[in-house]
Amino acid sequence: MTRRDALSRVSLILGGTIVGAELFLNGCGPSVPQVSATEFTAGTISFLDEVGEIIIPTSASSPGAKAAKIGEFMKTIVTECYEAKNQKIFFEGIGKLNEAAKAKSGGKTFLEMEPEAQKALLTEIDVEAKAYAKENVANPEAPKHYFALMKQLTLWGYFSSEVGATQALRYVEAPGPYKGCIPYTKGEKAWAL
Amino acid sequence: MADMEFDAIVVGSGVSGGWAAKELCEKGLKVIMLERGKDVVHVKDYTNATKGPWEFPYRGTRSQKMIEDYPVLKRDYPLNERNLDWWASDKDCPYTEVKRFDWFRGYQVGGRSLLWGRQSYRLADLDFEANAKDGIAVDWPVRYKDIAPWYDYVERFIGVSGNRDGIPHLPDGEFLPPMDLNCVEKDVAERLKVHYKGMRHLIIGRAAHITSPLEGQNRGVCQSRNKCSLGCPYGAYFSTQSSTLPAAMKTGNLTVRPFSIVTKVLYDKDTKRATGVEVLDAETNQTYEYKSKIIFLNASTINTTWMLMNSATDIWPEGLGSSSGELGHNLMDHHLGVRAGGWVEGYEDKYYEGRRPNGFYIPRFRNLSGEKRDYIRGFGYQGAANREGWSREVAEYGIGLELKEALTEPGKWTMGMGGFGEILPYHENKVTLDKTKTDKWGLNVVAIDCELKENEKKMRKDMLQDGIEILQAAGVKDVKGVDGDGTPGRGIHEMGTARMGLDPKTSVLNKWNQMWDAQNVFITDGSFMTSAGCQNPSLTYMAFTARAVDHAISELKKMNL
């Protein structure tokens, strides 16, 4: 992100829900990460891959979040970039998500649920997370909802991944002279950054 | 030792140091350019320049480890994994903040010319006459007519893309073809013209990017990659590496010595001239002396003054160039952090192509044509209109296929901008030597004591209100503004501390950037600035540098130096 991008990035100005990156741009003082990479077991990573794939699934035109190795991405960001307080929320969130799965499915873990049931559950939790964010809109210090973190990481990790940027979006390494005004037809993909 | 003697020494290799070296070499002088940091070889050392976003583990952001290691740099956007190597280490090079001052430094060959924002605007007589008219600080010893030909000269060489807008207080230059405003920005420009009856302008940014080939230079045109701060493999934007260094090297007259921290300017009190510099090798800790007839100090504002404060203290306790009592004083920056933005209805059938490394500019419009606000001087805005990307919120869809498909298409148009305000030259805003603290090499560090005062605070109110009003007048929806962090230093436009003037009693340099106390020492980095304007200052440093070299050469010929 350059200064120009920062100046013109309205979502940030408006205190909106911009994904992922804003967590790190403000540089809240140093805090020692408490979660080490070893706590992300293979099981955790495949769990996160599944959650990510439901948020951003494979479609006819492009692979989904699993193909973008979203679980590995979350591991990197959570262990190395997150502040301790968000690491805690994220990790406790994995437990909470499984608790919610059990309550909903009569004792099954999230990974044991049927795909439709998984999607229905995450849809419900997403509504809950959005409502929570709305309640706290005036309080930027309020703890994040764990699912908001998972969803942010999924969108950020996916659209900045190679499959996301080059297949779900259009990535051009050297676009050539900037064209300020071209026609756009609905359905055409957005440019990747 | 013959290899320790040169015709000229240039301290620093950034925007102005590169220019000094080029000009001196082209005039036939044997020059050594001393750079405190490592070498960065054009293209070869731009190791991240062609990576895709996915090739960065943190996708371009920062880790907690980086935040711990960079307690100053973390305060704003510069701390990121993509070009971390080009920002100075806060731990190796600490400084003292009497009041908070965010100092973002680039210690390598090329300095911050590799990292700069490339916005290139001329100052005008509105700026050069300002101190005299307002009765503050001291008058600039030059006027626009003195410097205009030098602006022409540097623009022709570096390549500045821009439109000839005909705005008297933002003089047009020798421009390459302008970059495009996009559809929304063009319409907004028209609406503002009507609404403000031609008194406020929205123009395409004037940026030091090649938009058509420059004869005789091995540089490619801008490819709209917007990865400039990783180094440009096409050499499309001006940097020391892409522009002045190859020209200087071509003469065969330049020696570049990286890892050379200049600790002192050596001074001979009998001849009243500097004789050379003392260098501390940053790798070996050995000290060396280089001798020369003339010396250009281009170590960047604050560092140049630090060097002087460390020099000739047996003659002037406050350092070389301090006889006026102004050395170290009148530190300035531009105050940033006021932003406004909103979204734009319509234009769903319009888009753009390319990542434009530039935006729009709204030049100063306050305190012009006889208007008198409750503060003096003014500010400009820089910003852009864009279509939202995947990071927007999509209210209708929570998760799954619909969300994914919605986010693969561009969203609505938004428009945002931030202000760049002038900071006045206050004697109390200053740097001094902190004799209680040392850096990695055992050198005393600088203490920075600088703050915004009433004039800037009042100006910020206008910056916020005007920003909101302009966007509303342009038809932007849900406009919101914020008075964010305006801490000095964040503009990364440090200026002053060795100002030029008409009188040796109140200034450090004469009208040729020549030190009153040692006439073979020239300072042409931001230190010389007598006032700050609100325009991005690098182009002005280049123009004054070329002019100062021209003067130095003619003085050498007359045997005056």
- ipTM of the prediction: 0.93
What local confidence, expressed as pLDDT, does residue A19 receive? 34
CA distances from B443 to A178, B243, B273 (A): 47, 33, 25
DSSP string computed for chain A:
--HHHHHH-HHHHTT----STHHHHT----------GGGS-HHHHHHHHHHHHHHS---SSS--TTTTTHHHHHHHIIIIIS-HHHHHHHHHHHHHHHHHHHHHHTS--GGGS-HHHHHHHHHHHHHHHHHHHHHTTT-TTSPPPHHHHHHHHHHHHHHTSHHIIIIISB--S---S-EEEEE--TTPPPBP-
**Tokens representing residue B548 in the block:** 């100062």
B350 to A77: CB separation less than 8 angstroms, yes or no: no
Q: Residue B128's CB: how many other CB atoms inside 10 A?
A: 21
Q: State the sign of the Cα–Cα–Cα–Cα dihedral B342, B345, B347, B348.
A: positive
Place of tokens 């047996």: B314
Q: What is the mean pLDDT of residues B528-540?
A: 98
Query: Residue A5 pLDDT > 80, yes or no?
Result: no
CB A159 within 8 A of CB A26: no
Confidence of residue A17 (pLDDT cuts 50, 70, 90): very low
Place of tokens 């205009």: B148
pLDDT tens per residue, range B426-469: 999 999 999 999 999 999 999 999 999 999 999 999 999 999 99
Query: Residue A122 pLDDT > 50, yes or no?
Result: yes
Look up residue B486 and give its amino acid: G
CB A111 within 8 A of CB A167: no
Q: What is the mean pLDDT of residues B326-350?
A: 97
How far is residue B8's CA from residue B296's CA, in Å, rounded to a whole number?
8
B342 to A186: CB separation less than 8 angstroms, yes or no: no
What local confidence, expressed as pLDDT, does residue A140 receive? 86
CB A90 within 8 A of CB A73: no
B20's enclosing H/E stretch is helix B15-26
Determine which of B59, B186, B478 to mutate to test the interface with A (most A C-beta atoms within 10 Å).
B59
Task: Classify B94 as helix, strand or coil.
Answer: coil
**Tokens representing residue A112 in the block:** 């044991």
- B400 in contact with A, Cβ within 8 Å: yes
Determine which of B58, B399, B485 to mutate to test the interface with A (most A C-beta atoms within 10 Å).
B399
Query: Residue A27 pLDDT > 90, yes or no?
Result: no
Q: What is the mean pLDDT of residues A179-192?
A: 97
What local confidence, expressed as pLDDT, does residue A13 receive? 41
Which segments within B259-387 are labelled E, that is strand? 260-268, 273-281, 287-297, 334-335, 338-344, 350-353, 360-362, 379-387
pLDDT tens per residue, range B385-413: 999 999 988 888 899 999 999 999 999 99
How far is residue B483's CA from residue A13's CA, in Å, rounded to a whole number?
10
Pairing of strands B514-515, B273-281: unpaired
The domain of A153 spans 3-192
Query: Residue A33 pLDDT > 90, yes or no?
Result: no
Percent of chain B scoring above 90 in pLDDT: 98
**Tokens representing residue B187 in the block:** 């319409």
Query: Residue A31 pLDDT > 60, yes or no?
Result: no
Q: What is the mean pLDDT of residues B109-117?
A: 98
Confidence of residue A32 (pLDDT cuts 50, 70, 90): very low
**Tokens representing residue B162 in the block:** 């821009």
CA distances from B266 to B51, B312, B313, B318, B400 (A): 45, 7, 10, 15, 69
Please give, rounded to a whole number of angstroms, the shortest distance from the CA of B391 to a CA of chain A: 5
What local confidence, expressed as pLDDT, does residue A35 receive? 57
Confidence of residue A34 (pLDDT cuts 50, 70, 90): low
- B294 in contact with A, Cβ within 8 Å: no
How far is residue A87's CA from residue A81's CA, in Å, rounded to a whole number?
9
Confidence of residue B509 (pLDDT cuts 50, 70, 90): very high
- B351 in contact with A, Cβ within 8 Å: yes
Q: How many domains does chain A have?
A: 1
Confidence of residue A14 (pLDDT cuts 50, 70, 90): very low
Confidence of residue B125 (pLDDT cuts 50, 70, 90): very high
Closest residue to B64, CB basis, from A1, A31, A123: A31
What local confidence, expressed as pLDDT, does residue A30 receive? 38
Query: Residue A191 pLDDT > 70, yes or no?
Result: yes
Place of tokens 């009507």: B194
pLDDT tens per residue, range B255-282: 999 999 999 999 999 999 999 999 999 9
pLDDT tens per residue, range B98-111: 999 999 999 999 99
Closest residue to A180, CB basis, from B183, B341, B405: B183
Closest residue to A178, CB basis, from B74, B354, B482: B354
